[in-house]
Structure 1
Amino acid sequence: MPVPASSPPTAREATSFDDLRALAHRFAAGLGCDYFAYLALRPPAGAAHRGEILVSDYPPEWQARYLCRHYKYHDPVVTLAHDAREPYSWGHAGFLSAYGKGARRVFDEATEFRILEGCAVPTAGVAGDAGVFGVTLSHRGQARQMLRDRDDQIQLFAADFHAAAVRIAYGPERKARLELSPRQREVLAWTAEGLSSEATAERIGITASAVNYHLTAVCRKLGAANKVQAVALAIRRALI
């Protein structure tokens, strides 16, 4: 009787970057993507910098070239991640119009490895750590639609991946005591159920502006880039 193939551990169970690589490779393939990549942008506050942390299933030659030539300083996908609060697609027509020769060189060389377009998610943690996770396609014309269709799924996976990468690189999370107000927990709980700000406002009897105010405060407390990641972080910390 054949033995079933073992599944990669979940991000929370992962104990090495190899575990995370196998997990993300499977996730990307499930989306119909060819590759994934994660790059750490900032370590947790007080942690010693450990050099570049790149976890990917890109061809080894491209990974080595990217790191050796310090392409992260020219890569617009990474540049956007420093300021973005929502996922974004890249590689579509006109994407490079606002960037210079350095960005074009990175993208031109990436095409040698059939890295043509994809989606990226800026990630963050409560200790000030930050990163960017993305999935990549070897053909054009599908990244934007994939992001529209699978936005929440990609964001939740990216948030868990980032938390696991930080834990593996720097040790267990330093769990500073975090408290959400009753109203913040209520707003976040309804958001976790999939309600919009307007629907949440109607449900609990406040304005949509007040809902957004509370969500912004929660994101700030948790170090989350946006409300989807705030939900993931709050669930992980048993705050809702």
Structure 2
Amino acid sequence: MQDDLLLRYSRHIMLPQIEYAGQQALTQSHALIIGAGGLGAPVAMYLAAAGVGTLTICDFDQVDMTNLQRQIIHTTAAVGHNKALSAQATIAQLNPEITVNTVLTRMTEQQASERISAADVVIDCSDNFATRYLLNQLCFTTKTPLVSGAAIRFEGQLSVFDFRHAESPCYHCLYPDVGDDQELRCADNGVFAPLVGMIGSAQAAEAIKVLLNIGHTMQGRLLLLDALSAEWRSIKLKKDPACKVCGHSG
């Protein structure tokens, strides 16, 4: 690692849980970020700042004026531009030492599987159940760790499904797919601006812990945040033996 990178990442290297070897591992890691909206914005920015060497950002949507209230990776000048490209441009200013790939179209299942297989961790920053269920299934199949987050109104949640461990539950254990496609969307329900930053930052922290195998991740736990009352709750999440995705594994 060159001197300028040692300086850039010096506050990480000072941490005994990371040190030089851990930072070097981050620079050689690949994170796949699904969604460059409210959650994807802080996830991408913190992973980039932390020195995760390759980020692949997937988003086929365009920046809208209503996004700017919370999607801090985008600027007013980016309105009308693709979100993944806008995120890439911001990250280039934040940390030009890393590689940022973009996916600008909706991926097929095969394409998504290939992207997931190439990544060391997947961060789900999507806003719909169909995508969450698909990512969960593909990550389970490829045994790729999945960091899942959601935020609406004043409420957020976070969990980690690390399929490298047989005892890990999956997203389907938490929310079984019963065919109800009703979604809670920000456009219909609103969202507190700092909430996505709080959950997205926590997702980035969990992703880095997964990549470095340090601390205790949210595997087997669900973190719930009520930003209006400033209350965090952590509840245990167990694997469902009857789960259609992971119930018959291990």
The alignment's TM-score, normalised by the length of structure 2, stands at 0.24
Decide which structure has the larger Cα Rg and report it.
1
Higher strand share: 2
The alignment's TM-score, normalised by the length of structure 1, stands at 0.25
